[in-house]
Amino acid sequence: MTSDTSTRDLLAAADLDALYPVLDANRMTAGWHKKRPSLWKEPRTAFRPLHWRYDVGALALDQAGRWMDTELAERRNLLLFNPVGDNDYDTVNTLVAAYQMIKPGEHAKAHRHTPNAMRIILDAAPGCFTVVDGVKLPMRTGDVLLTPSMGWHSHYNIGDANAYWIDVLDVPLVHRLEPMFVEHLPGGTQAETSSPAEHPYAFPLAAMLAKLESVKAERGVKRLRADTADHFKTMAITYCQIAAGAAERTVANTASRVVIVLGGRGTAQVGDQAFAWSRGDVIAVPSWTPHAFEATESALLVEVSDEPALRALGFYREQP
């Protein structure tokens, strides 16, 4: 619509009903006449509490592995999506989780991207490792490994058994903010420059359990925040150890979460949904959703949340 036409149509409007289509044609909306509210009393989300079972995910990966290798797919993973509208990717609003499997002799080629990523290793035999910016890090059952934004990373399995883990990335957050970049390393293989016994990107299970030993339990629950702040600005990792019969309860808050079960069994009440969980399972906890995890046997959970991003923006808040 030209300026002259806009002016003529605006002046010709006899009332508000006639004005609204003219505004729309000029890509304007009257604030008092918008189609949907832009402000509301407290957070609302279309994302649902959901539960994925490791036994199902592992079997699905095994079946897919009959036909799909890392040459064809680069990453053999199964995205755990929340059925919101046409979404087939996001697990919660800002995070995506996926089960991934790599077979003996396979190599997931090196690439890098804007989103931060982590691997929570569920089952891996000796010979499975990742390389992040040249640093070789073993992938051992129960370990958590970081891949910060724009770090070159690739995965290898030179062992004799399939390796399984859970990826958690802040891809949905990057999608919404739109600063996405991805690069594939020519040749797909990066040089291994070091193989340290310890590294800030690696959180071995044994080391984290030792740290939990010194944490005072409150009503049978111990919580320990992993030291990731220097490398992750958008995600936090919290270990939660729950004694048999105890429960970890959290009031509604503005953070979105993905909870991974590293060990044990129990039940969860997430909003109005109840789940029975066991090792390797994944549970989505959307924003502003109260939740409780009760252990029927001693359990260890890893909670990944977008709390650092919300705190940096001044948006983190808990229900009074």
| 77-90 tens-digit pLDDT | 999 999 999 999 99
pTM: 0.94
Residues 239, 142: one domain? no
- pLDDT for the residue 2: 65
Tell me how far CA of residue 310 lies from CA of 173, 174, 202, in angstroms: 11, 14, 24
Mean pLDDT for all residues in the chain: 96
Residues 286, 302: one domain? yes
Instruction: Specify the range with the lowest mean pLDDT, choosing from 5-19, 148-162, 219-233.
Output: 5-19
Mean pLDDT value of segment 287-315: 98
Mean pLDDT value of segment 161-181: 98
Q: Is residue 94 in a domain?
A: yes
Q: How many folded domains does the chain comprise?
A: 3
- pLDDT for the residue 228: 98
User: From CA 154, how far away is CA 109, in angstroms rounded?
Assistant: 5
Q: Is residue 319 in a domain?
A: no
Tell me how far CA of residue 72 lies from CA of 67, 75, 76, 107, 149, in angstroms: 9, 9, 9, 12, 24
Residue numbers of the domain that contains 140: 50-203
Q: Which helix (H) or strand (E) holds 52?
A: strand 50-52
Model confidence at 109, in pLDDT bands (50, 70, 90)? very high
Mean pLDDT value of segment 125-138: 97
Residues 216, 194: one domain? no
- pLDDT for the residue 4: 76
Residues 276, 166: one domain? no
- pLDDT for the residue 309: 98
